[in-house]
Amino acid sequence: MTLTQDRKTDIQQRFLRVDTANVADILDEMGHLDCGLASDLWPIRERLERMAGWAYTIRGQMTPYPGTGDPKKMEAVSGLTPGHLSVWSGGGAEGVCFFGELIARGMQLRGCTGALVDGGIRDIEWLARMDFPVYARYRTPVQSIGRWAVNAWQVDIYLPGATSARVRVRPDDFILADADGALVIPQEIVETVLERAEALTEKEARIREDLDAGMSLPDVLTKYGHV
């Protein structure tokens, strides 16, 4: 899929105005039944976090190594461009953080729209002060240096799923997340899903107006059908 940067920005901004619940329903209708991510990928600020962006994948694994840094992590992050959302695959690692405040600030300066981390994060208080949404599996003060290292980026990865053990995420698939959870939208159908989700959002707004005006729920369902 080849889209201009302006078009990508427009799509990203429009997705921020629809709910994951509506998008999940559209994906089901289109036959994409396993796009939801596991519920333990949770935002650091539950009621404030909403994020959308084009997946920039980063993969790593637990592995002991000498030295005082992870050069590949720095190289991977340097490839982020505006509209990307960093997606970190940790291979099920437990107990160490993949990034904290400083690397998040670097990503934000590059135009990254958020982070989805199948692993740990730290510096929670500082991250919470930034206008930078983060979803992660767990929190820990223990750094990754010497313990966990990036081994690839912008490759296909797996994340734990809601209705399947794994969900495949490819570079430039689309990530949408809000207080209900996170979804992966295959890049080939992003625009179709968005248009249908916007139509469903408008339909639900009319339903709320009718309910507020006194219409009964059975009458609403007769008028609009299942939603």
Helices 190-212 + 217-224 axis angle, to 10: 140
Residues placed in the known binding site: 100-103, 122-123
Each residue of 46-97: pLDDT tens digit? 776 899 999 999 999 998 998 888 889 999 999 999 999 999 998 766 789 9
Q: Where are the domains of the chain?
A: 5-187
pLDDT for 224 beyond 80: no
What is the reported pLDDT for 216? 82
Instruction: List residues forming the annotated binding site for substrate.
Output: 100-103, 122-123
3-state SS assignment for residue 26: helix
Q: Which of 75-84, 108-117, 138-147, 207-216 has the lowest mean pLDDT?
A: 207-216
Positive or negative, the CA dihedral 44, 46, 48, 49 is positive
Please tell me the chain's helix, strand, coil percentages from 3-state DSSP, rounded to the nearest 5.
35, 30, 40
pLDDT for 103: 93
Question: Average pLDDT over the chain, rounded to whole?
Answer: 92
The average pLDDT across 13-39 equals 97
Helix or strand (DSSP H, E) at 69: none
CATH code for the domain defined by 5-187: 3.50.30.40
Kindly report the pTM of this predicted structure.
Answer: 0.92
CA-wise closest residue to 79 among 110, 40, 35: 110
Which residues does residue 173 pair with via DSSP β-bridges, in sequence order?
none
pLDDT digit string, tens, across residues 131-179: 899 999 999 999 999 999 999 999 999 999 999 999 999 999 999 999 9
Q: What angle do CA 81, 83, 88 make, to 5 degrees?
A: 75
